[in-house]
Amino acid sequence: MYRSHNCGELRAADINKEVTLAGWVQKSRDKGFMIWVDLRDRYGITQLIFDEARTDENMMQRARSLGREYVVQIKGTVIERESKNLNIPTGEIEVLVNELTILNEAQLPPFTIEDETDGGEDLRMKYRYLDIRRNPVKNSLLFRHKVTQEVRNYLSNLDFCEVETPYLIKSTPEGARDFVVPSRMNPGQFYALPQSPQTFKQLLMVGGLDRYFQIVKCFRDEDLRADRQPEFTQIDCEMSFIEQEDILKVFEGLTRHLLKTIHNIDITQFPRITYDEAMAKYGNDKPDIRFGMEFGELNAAAQHKDFSVFNHAELVVGIAVPDAASYTRKQIDALIDWVKRPQVGASGMVYCKCELDGTFKSSVDKFYDQADLAKWAEVTGAKAGDLILILSGPANKTRAQLSALRMELANRLGLRQPNEFAPLWVMDFPLLEWDDETGRYHAMHHPFTSPKKEDIHLLDSEPGKVRANAYDLVLNGNEIGGGSIRIHDKETQALMFKHLGFTTAEAQEQFGFLMNAFQYGAPPHGGLAFGLDRLVAILGGQETIRDFIAFPKNNAGRDVMIDAPATIDNAQLDELSLVLNIKG
Ligand code: ASP
């Protein structure tokens, strides 16, 4: 038996017990006649004591030789601690050691294994196994486990069946690029790793499984953005014989269940807005609604004077920043510089202070009188003491810029509290999205999403106006999940592929398996997937998902611990019938 107890469980009630412990040396203190060692494992820290008066010289010497992170086993007696540490659960006792076995020595770790470490991100990634010994990372992994367990409990109780779908599949256009895997047995042929199990879960519905879920790895070879991982995990679900409303109810329930079991928070409201409203009010399809600062469109209120910048703009739009009328010229100039940064891209910004005495002071007083400015305040919902900030230009760009400013101000004003949770459904997404690069429409969600019946007639004339039965669940400004009601008949699916620019032959070649299946009695179905990594990070009150992933890749998509991706040798290339042609 390696241990009778773990390092986190001995208490005053255990005094006088003979125990065996095993773990890592966190640190030791040598007072000459006494040596204290903090022994650590996943469960906690227990203080060991070696005492000259009660321990033989040989063991004192071996105790003195223990370095940080040595792995040891000890036997000893639990005794009362003289100076108690009430900050840790084992702080009332210590273990007087009478047998010490060094199980493994350790080199000095490249960074300190403490809650606050001196190791930079790269170093910690390279030695991730050491990083995982630190409480913040270890606790994040335990937290993730708790979340996934609650997800499994909740869905299993509702008759969802967890099914594994294959990782080696066929490359299909689903939005992002596929990671591909060469097939040795089939020279020149490749598998692709799934961007999601989308078609398989639909086929499970055709198979009559009725309710499916899977906590599943997905792979997307996208250009990396901050805090994106090329492989990530989804809570993937699909249901048959349902309407949109049924799906929303199940996943509101799941979200409620998680917030209740994890944080003991009761969420009652799951407001819903349409995509169009979200864009108009927040300039964003995943708005953070924990705070206001909703957009006020000022075209009518601002385009009747001689201010040509506004007169020539497609959209003039502003927000009221609470209690910011007192900002100095310098503070406002800094904000103007901020929106002019290339990452945001505004060409300028107009402001209007709503003074406490009821008057207004704007940067365009030359053009607008007090009555005009009062109208601006009304439209943006500004009250006395607020600062109105206004951008203008092409509608979509200007909305995106103001959205970035709204989020930045909310961060600066401390309006985004990690322990406050505000979910929101965004509904009725457009079915298709114009892509300048390829010069054609793409499915905004994916090609299997059903258009709204009442909009199908617009497919030929105004494809951009067709709305989809698609919905996203947004939490605190993050899209945590999205899904749709699916097409379940061959004709509509073929029509959809046609509008996405596939020839009949191409559609058949890539998605024949799905359209054929639809001819054998496909039930009406729909579903959704939550992004688990992000969900766990938000529930854990953190911004970055990396700490909740055991072995994450860095921002360049590399695993710096195992050093992947890496080249393979010529023999392996030959076996796979591959010839490299590296340019540049
Ligand atoms: N497969 C979709 C995705 O990965 C989710 C869904 O429609 O269920 O976004």
Per-residue model confidence (pLDDT) at position 401: 98
Per-residue model confidence (pLDDT) at position 35: 97
Q: What is the mean pLDDT of residues 108-137?
A: 95
pLDDT in tens, 405-441: 999 999 999 999 988 999 999 999 999 999 888 888 9
Question: Considering only CA atoms, which of 342, 352, 289 is closest in space to residue 320?
Answer: 352
CA of 214 to the centre of ligand 1 (A): 12
- The per-residue pLDDT of the chain, averaged, comes to 95
DSSP H helices, 283-325, are: 299-302, 308-311
Per-residue model confidence (pLDDT) at position 225: 77
User: Is 355 annotated as belonging to a binding site?
Assistant: no
Q: What is the mean pLDDT of residues 552-571?
A: 95
Amino acid found at 145: H
Count, residues in the chain? 584
Domain span(s) for CATH 3.30.1360.30 in the chain: 291-415
Q: Is the pLDDT of residue 74 over 90?
A: yes
Per-residue confidence at 173, pLDDT binned at 50, 70, 90?
low
Q: What is the mean pLDDT of residues 237-243?
A: 98
Per-residue confidence at 457, pLDDT binned at 50, 70, 90?
very high
Beta strand ranges found along 372-468 (DSSP E): 387-393, 423-427, 432-435, 440-443
Q: Which atom of ligand 1 is closest in space to residue 527's alpha carbon?
A: 8
Q: Is the pLDDT of residue 172 over 80?
A: no
CA of 381 to the centre of ligand 1 (A): 37
Coil, helix or strand at residue 161: strand
Domain span(s) for CATH 3.30.930.10 in the chain: 142-272+424-548
Q: What is the mean pLDDT of residues 492-516?
A: 93
Sign of the dihedral through C-alpha 29, 35, 36, 41? positive
Per-residue model confidence (pLDDT) at position 71: 98
Q: What is the mean pLDDT of residues 279-297?
A: 97
CB-ligand 1 contact for 473 (6 Å cutoff):
no
CB-ligand 1 contact for 49 (6 Å cutoff):
no
CA of 108 to the centre of ligand 1 (A): 46
Question: Residues 84, 46: contact at Cβ < 8 Å?
Answer: no
CB-ligand 1 contact for 216 (6 Å cutoff):
no
Determine the topology of domain 142-272+424-548 in CATH. BirA Bifunctional Protein; domain 2 (3.30.930)
Return d(Cα 407, Cα 286) in angstroms, integer: 11
Return d(Cα 146, Cα 53) in angstroms, integer: 46
Q: Which atom of ligand 1 is closest in space to residue 449's alpha carbon?
A: 7
Q: What is the mean pLDDT of residues 41-61?
A: 95
Q: Is the pLDDT of residue 273 over 90?
A: yes
Tell me which residue has its CA closest to atom 1 in ligand 1.
198
Q: What is the mean pLDDT of residues 321-333?
A: 96
Per-residue model confidence (pLDDT) at position 438: 84
User: Is 432 annotated as belonging to a binding site?
Assistant: no
CB-ligand 1 contact for 527 (6 Å cutoff):
yes
CB-ligand 1 contact for 493 (6 Å cutoff):
no
Return d(Cα 361, Cα 40) in angstroms, integer: 62
pLDDT in tens, 519-547: 999 999 999 999 999 999 999 988 789 98
Per-residue model confidence (pLDDT) at position 418: 87
CB-ligand 1 contact for 528 (6 Å cutoff):
yes
User: Is 57 annotated as belonging to a binding site?
Assistant: no
Q: Which atom of ligand 1 is closest in space to residue 238's alpha carbon?
A: 8
CB-ligand 1 contact for 529 (6 Å cutoff):
yes
Domain span(s) for CATH 2.40.50.140 in the chain: 12-104
CATH code matching the domain that covers 291-415, chosen among 3.40.50.300, 2.60.120.10, 3.30.1360.30, 3.60.40.10: 3.30.1360.30
Per-residue model confidence (pLDDT) at position 313: 97
Per-residue model confidence (pLDDT) at position 542: 86
Q: What is the mean pLDDT of residues 471-480?
A: 96
Q: What is the mean pLDDT of residues 86-97?
A: 97
CB-ligand 1 contact for 322 (6 Å cutoff):
no
What are the residues facing 375 on neighbouring strands?
A: none
Out of 236, 247, 471, 474, give the residue to mutate to test ligand 1, the one with the largest number of ligand atoms within 8 Å of its CB: 236
pTM equals: 0.93
CA of 524 to the centre of ligand 1 (A): 16
Name the more confident of 583 and 291.
Answer: 291
Percent of the chain clearing pLDDT 70 (strictly above): 100
User: Is 445 annotated as belonging to a binding site?
Assistant: yes
CA of 575 to the centre of ligand 1 (A): 35
Question: Considering only CA atoms, which of 453, 446, 520, 454 is closest in space to residue 483?
Answer: 446
CB-ligand 1 contact for 483 (6 Å cutoff):
yes
CB-ligand 1 contact for 482 (6 Å cutoff):
yes
Tell me which residue has its CA closest to atom 7 in ligand 1.
483
Tell me which residue has its CA closest to atom 8 in ligand 1.
528
Q: Is the pLDDT of residue 321 over 90?
A: yes
Per-residue model confidence (pLDDT) at position 223: 84
Question: Considering only CA atoms, which of 191, 166, 172, 212 is closest in space to residue 515?
Answer: 172
CATH of domain 12-104: 2.40.50.140
Per-residue confidence at 174, pLDDT binned at 50, 70, 90?
low
CB-ligand 1 contact for 198 (6 Å cutoff):
yes
